[in-house]
Structure 1
């Protein structure tokens, strides 16, 4: 893994994830480009999505799933800048290998049930032979989302395969292991998030999956 681009929206707490993920990758010698989505356009995101030099495209923002109107499903970097389900369906990742798209947002991996396997959802639409996708099945609280993101970043540095990185993140989900793992990497602010939750595991308040 050589280059990561990290987009963040107008989340009040998004800076904690941005710092944790970018610091972890930078320490490993990986080139990280942090993009403030509030200062960019939809065309900028399309350019990033289709760029051939990214190994990981990471999005930390809002999203919503249109349970009664799937066509209203979108990832929202700001109130004005949204990337709709139909736009994800038309954008094509580069055909020069397989990269990872991380959608650390609410509902990014939700799908509409149509009586069989469904691709009516952002992650399901974006996943394919060119791209694996990590996302959440339903709304997620910002603290467990940040914890998952930090653990996934650690796993991506430690493992060559995307699925092994995801398994690392979920294997270290429980207290006190999750806190110890984050503190060992110097991610103390996120470790405080992991310790703050009155839960046995961050999966009690998050719903990460990976579509490979």
Structure 2
């Protein structure tokens, strides 16, 4: 097994280095915070509701409970009531629009992270949430969809984005895994599937990449 470089730094150390270079240490001792995460948790305790005594609480068996005001029927609105939107639903979803542009079966791909991952930092190749061990290039798919495409667990597939910009976006050699996921939907880890997301494909209003709703096709590899 390859050993990490001695030059490898944590995300916290990288951010602290950027902050030191940008604004200095006169107000916040960034390097000190990066050297001891307990100090960061102390600062979190001081400013975020529900995180009082953070360092002590994380020593408890399964951590601690963060309150959910909605579950407690507490609504922090001017009316003190829950507010519901009456926004209209789209006429067609992304996969339905994409289906008009290909004869192949279109799936909705969501990208997600594994248990041993924080954002794009991967700390291991296991995902106890979904029973995946020692690998990451997997595609989770409904059993009925597997049957439709004549796939079995362990088959390798190529995933290709359906778009109209004439750019081919594909990733290959993803292992099929049967999973309890709605028919028509598939899932895979990021950043392995990041190349499938067109840069100009963003959510309305917020502008975030559409990484949870990518219209794709699957091709079985021989």
- TM above 0.5, yes or no, is no
TM-score by length of 2: 0.22
Higher helix share: 1
TM-score by length of 1: 0.22
Larger Rg: 2
